[in-house]
Amino acid sequence: MAAEKTLDLVEIAPKAEPPVCKIIDFGKFKYEQQKRDKTQKKNQNVSVLKEIRFHPNTDVHDFEFKTKHAINFLEEGNKVKAVVMFKGRELAYTNKGEEILTRFSERLEDYAKVESPIKMEGRNMSLIMVPQKSKKKTTNQ
């Protein structure tokens, strides 16, 4: 029947009892499948981790400027990692770094939630925040 219609006989479900076959144009089928895969890949949401760096003596203006950047990153759907970097003797003032990160998380609590709490990693203290689902939906509409 497939040869009469100049189409292809394609086995759809080989494990079914009896096996299921379909008479279709195989080239057209492959093209539509590639098109479907391409649209699925385009609609896929890839999360990127953006990093914002602070120092223990970061000024108020710099802090506000960097939090605005973090808000933009979160609205785009990216994760944000805030890092306080300590150099030399600044390591004695880890409480300042913790204070900066808590202020940062409080400032962004409307836009994001904390994924991993504040922790020390060598000379760096970090905090990771992920965007809230509700905020992201309202920006895409």
Residue 134: pLDDT band with limits 50, 70, 90: low
State in words which class domain 49-140 has: alpha beta
- Per cent of the chain over pLDDT 90 is 50
Q: How far is CA 89 from CA 63, 92, 93, in A?
A: 22, 6, 8
Per-residue pLDDT reduced to its tens digit, 96-125: 999 999 999 999 988 898 988 999 999 999
Cα 36 from Cα 84, distance rounded (Å): 44
Map out the domains of the chain as residue ranges. Answer: 8-43, 49-140
Per-residue pLDDT reduced to its tens digit, 36-69: 999 988 887 777 899 999 999 989 999 999 999 9
Q: How far is CA 48 from CA 69, 105, 106, 136, in A?
A: 14, 19, 22, 15
